[in-house]
A and B are shown apart, each in its own frame.
Chain A
Amino acid sequence: MAMVELKGISKTFGRVQALQDVTFSVNKGEVFGFIGPNGSGKSTTIRVLLGMIKASTGTAEIFGQDVWKQAPVIHRHTAYVPGDVHLWPNLTGGEVIDLLIELGGGGDRNKRDQLIDRFQLDPTKKCRTYSKGNRQKVALIGAFASFADLYLFDEPTSGLDPLMERIFQECVREIRAEGKSVLLSSHILSEVEKLCDRVGIIRDGTMIETGSLSDLRHLTRMTMEVETKRDVVSLEKQAGVYDVKRESSKLTFQVDTEHSGAVIAYLTEFGIKHLESRPPTLEDLFLRYYEEGRQAP
């Protein structure tokens, strides 16, 4: 069952087309990674989902309800953490956490206290005195302690130190284990790689790829490094081989996943001394899509 369902969402601000035909869904119990460079439309998409801005065309639903018309009803069961949390300078962190939980439709008070401990936040300080990381913690604690079925995170770990990032990741795994769903927008790709079941890549307001990480890896190339007894001839002419680089006896190249078997068979003829193959990381994927975008007219 889809918790989030976007179909053909477009959004224009004046003449600027911020989103174009964005379509994807987040299923129950899954962590969906939403990645893309800065300014690609991640936050705009999330703001549409939260009913803060109205989509120009298309339908967007959470729990099967229209995100614009039913916003307050939907929000009783969602939690949101933005990348840059702005709080009221003269309230304490503890007060803000309680406010977020209460106005969001209630939460677990014990969990609240545990989270404050885990994130090592001093809830008695005024928000004025908090650093960016601490403001982020306030919003995260408010979100994780609330009774939500869907969590929307927009670059939630910006400003957190690596230790706190790990606690965030633990928390996400815990809520997934409880069957909750997560939409995690991020450009920290290692984080997405660790947490997400599926990812969607957005660029210039358009979704360019959606699928599980292994699906995406199939669509792309792996890197191979090979040393042979005899010189390899006309490797470049083999189907699906790109970017061949020679360094004395060592060859480095990329190969489309579907052609890798044929290429290895071909290399065997030259007597393989050493062969290393590396699946593409999310970063490779991302950079490839991103660079294609830059080269496009």
Chain B
Amino acid sequence: MMSPFDRTWRLTKLLLRRDRIRLTGWLSVITAATLLTAAAFPGLYTTETEREQLAISMINPAVTALVGPGHGLDDYTYGPMMAHQMLGLTALIIAIMAVLLTIRYTRADEEEGRTEMVRALAVGRSAPLMSALLVMTMLSGAIGLANAVGLGLLGLEGMNWAGSLHYGAVLTLTSLFFTGVTFITAQLAETARAASGMAIIAAVGAYAVRAVGDISVDILTWFSPFGWLLAAETYVNNYVWPLLLTLFASTLAITAGLWLAAGRDVGSGLLHSKAGRSRARKSLLSPIGLQMRLQRTSILVWTASLFLLGVTYGSVLGDIDLFFSDIDFMEDFLPAVEGLSLTDQFLSVLFVIMAIMASVPTVMQLTKLRSEEKKQRIEPIVSLAVSRGKLLTSYMVPALLTSVIMLSATSAGLGAAAVAVIEEGRPFMEYYGAGMAYLPAVLVMTATAALLIGWVPAFTSIVWGYLAASFVIVYMGNLFQFPDWMDRLTPFGYVPAVPVESAAILPTAGLVAAALVLTAGAYIGFGRRDLQQG
């Protein structure tokens, strides 16, 4: 009689062999990010005064929501600093890693038919799942150990071995817990995609619940594993009970997953996805309606992310003068301009970054046309009574909307947070207006993408290079002391940096005109060229 676990070890070795690059990749990237950040701290905040100022600037709801509550702020050495600024976000990334890898070794293998092939061999029925569990446990342990040893060896001020081991244990347990959660969703959902979707929502949701708990509704913190682990006060008190609690919860989740798996057929899910619509809504039945529907989720996610980015930037504005006055390289970065506070100058840089970030989802609306062409999904549309022009419009209009939505979201986020943290500052509309001033530049970028798609579709991705180059030029131009004319190479360089500079009509009108000319060129090119296959 074969045991259900027969050949587990053999399959484990297969997974390790198959994914040796992916697994070592996750391990080294996460460890490197932790260690490089830690190693950079002493250079950034040399004196105790600087660290105290940093601690003060960190006490605001936006930062707490983003990274978790600060512990040991009264003695803000590098250890507590790490646990405060890095641990929460690293844990979140590890949670997502655990979800992706666990799905890869469970449902994805099942969907591709690999599990079926393996199960048909002389292999125990639980062996595939057990091998996935073993691999994830090894990876979780390795990440914790590597981070703990690395931090311990760095041995910065306030970074003792006990705390470093605690830090590593938090990471290991996060990974284990979400491996367990994914074990459960992998049994519930009907497809790998749905299973990873559910688990990622659980991870991000748990982080959000923790954020709300830390800011306002205290009790919520205890409903999230991130809440437990960040309350363990790594490098300050190194509480062990939250670790044990998480370990217990992880074991429970993993066991539940294994138990559910035992009663499930290969390729099915315990929850059945509800039937979709058998008829289309009226709103879908136009080329633009189709695009809006296809891009809906991505627009929502980007809007929320850019709003949060705005809030994050805005919430640090209050302490900006304090924050940066002692950092040497800031002087190269933002050469002092007479009569302007550092905050205002920093603001103008922020708006450019946010505009470039807002360009990403906007340009993506257009490059989607190219990827749809490659996937042969515009052929069904063009074979119907839809002209090339109409098709391009169905991508241009959502792009235009996206640009307005994205710039609004990030500027409003920044404005709202800035109004809240700066006493006697500018009114909200001034921030909002300064952000929206970049709309014409974003549109030029979008029209550039359209032009490339219209004339040289194979080179569409040049637009991403151009956007990256624009970022380097406007963001780091001062730092690298680029000549002034380089600013003129990117549309973002023409926008008057409100509030530092005063608004001007001419450059704005010029950018709008450029966007219109490029767009006209795009329509001409796209109307004349052959559609391509693959």
Q: How far does the Cβ of A182 sit from chain B's closest Cβ, in whole Å? A: 15
B388 partner residues in chain A, CB cutoff 8 A: 71
**Contact, CB under 8 Å: B284 / A86:** no
**Of listed B277, B280, B293, residue having the most chain A CB within 10 A:** B280
Identify B284's interface contact among A71, A99, A104, CB under 8 A: A99
Instruction: Digitize A82-94: 1 where CB-to-B-CB distance is under 8 Å, 0 elsewhere.
Output: 1011111011101
B422 close to A (CB within 8 Å): no
Q: How far does the Cβ of B267 sit from chain A's closest Cβ, in whole Å? A: 12
In the bound complex, how far is the Cα of B294 from the Cα of A5, in angstroms?
Answer: 37
A9 close to B (CB within 8 Å): no
**Contact, CB under 8 Å: B278 / A94:** yes
Query: For window 67-126 of chain A, which residues contact chain B by CB distance below 8 Å?
Result: 71-73, 75-76, 78, 80, 82, 84-88, 90-92, 94-96, 98-100, 102-105, 123-126
In the bound complex, how far is the Cα of B528 from the Cα of A129, in angstroms?
Answer: 35
**Contact, CB under 8 Å: B376 / A92:** no
Chain B interface helix/strand/loop/mixed: loop
Name the residue of chain A whose CB is nearest to the CB of B381: A103
In the bound complex, how far is the Cα of B290 from the Cα of A88, in angstroms?
Answer: 10
Identify A104's interface contact among B276, B384, B387, CB under 8 A: B384
A60 close to B (CB within 8 Å): no
Q: How far does the Cβ of A236 sit from chain B's closest Cβ, in whole Å? A: 50
A103 partner residues in chain B, CB cutoff 8 A: 285-287, 381, 384-386
A51 partner residues in chain B, CB cutoff 8 A: 382
**Contact, CB under 8 Å: B280 / A124:** no
A54 close to B (CB within 8 Å): yes
Tier of interface size on chain A: 35 or more
B379 close to A (CB within 8 Å): yes
In the bound complex, how far is the Cα of B383 from the Cα of A50, in angstroms?
Answer: 6
A128 partner residues in chain B, CB cutoff 8 A: 191, 193
Name the residue of chain A whose CB is nearest to the CB of B387: A72
B339 partner residues in chain A, CB cutoff 8 A: none
Q: How far does the Cβ of A129 sit from chain B's closest Cβ, in whole Å? A: 7
Given A94-B280, A126-B276, A129-B191, do A86 and B375 touch, yes or no (CB 8 Å)? yes
In the bound complex, how far is the Cα of B381 from the Cα of A85, in angstroms?
Answer: 12
**Contact, CB under 8 Å: B276 / A53:** no
In the bound complex, how far is the Cα of B275 from the Cα of A74, in angstroms?
Answer: 36
Query: For window 9-61 of chain A, which residues contact chain B by CB distance below 8 Å?
Result: 47, 50-54
**Contact, CB under 8 Å: B382 / A123:** no
In the bound complex, how far is the Cα of B387 from the Cα of A240, in angstroms?
Answer: 54
B386 partner residues in chain A, CB cutoff 8 A: 72, 75, 103
A139 close to B (CB within 8 Å): yes
Given A90-B294, A95-B279, A98-B280, do A75 and B383 touch, yes or no (CB 8 Å)? yes
**Contact, CB under 8 Å: A50 / B382:** yes
Q: How far does the Cβ of A101 sit from chain B's closest Cβ, in whole Å? A: 9
B22 close to A (CB within 8 Å): no
A71 partner residues in chain B, CB cutoff 8 A: 382, 387-388
**Contact, CB under 8 Å: B284 / A95:** yes
**Contact, CB under 8 Å: A54 / B530:** yes
**Contact, CB under 8 Å: B276 / A86:** no
B275 partner residues in chain A, CB cutoff 8 A: 124-125
In the bound complex, how far is the Cα of B380 from the Cα of A103, in angstroms?
Answer: 10
B193 partner residues in chain A, CB cutoff 8 A: 128
Q: How far does the Cβ of A45 sit from chain B's closest Cβ, in whole Å? A: 14
In the bound complex, how far is the Cα of B293 from the Cα of A90, in angstroms?
Answer: 9
A102 partner residues in chain B, CB cutoff 8 A: 280, 285-286
Name the residue of chain B whose CB is nearest to the CB of A13: B530
Query: For window 261-278 of chain B, which residues contact chain A by CB distance below 8 Å?
Result: 275-278
Name the residue of chain B whose CB is nearest to the CB of A97: B280
B528 partner residues in chain A, CB cutoff 8 A: 54
Name the residue of chain B whose CB is nearest to the CB of A109: B279
Given A72-B385, A72-B390, do A84 and B376 touch, yes or no (CB 8 Å)? yes
**Of listed A51, A84, A98, A103, residue having the most chain B CB within 10 A:** A103
B364 close to A (CB within 8 Å): no
In the bound complex, how far is the Cα of B294 from the Cα of A73, in angstroms?
Answer: 26
Identify A88's interface contact among B294, B382, B390, B531, CB under 8 A: B294
B287 partner residues in chain A, CB cutoff 8 A: 103
Q: Which residues of A contact B (CB under 8 A)?
A: 47, 50-54, 71-73, 75-76, 78, 80, 82, 84-88, 90-92, 94-96, 98-100, 102-105, 123-126, 128-129, 139
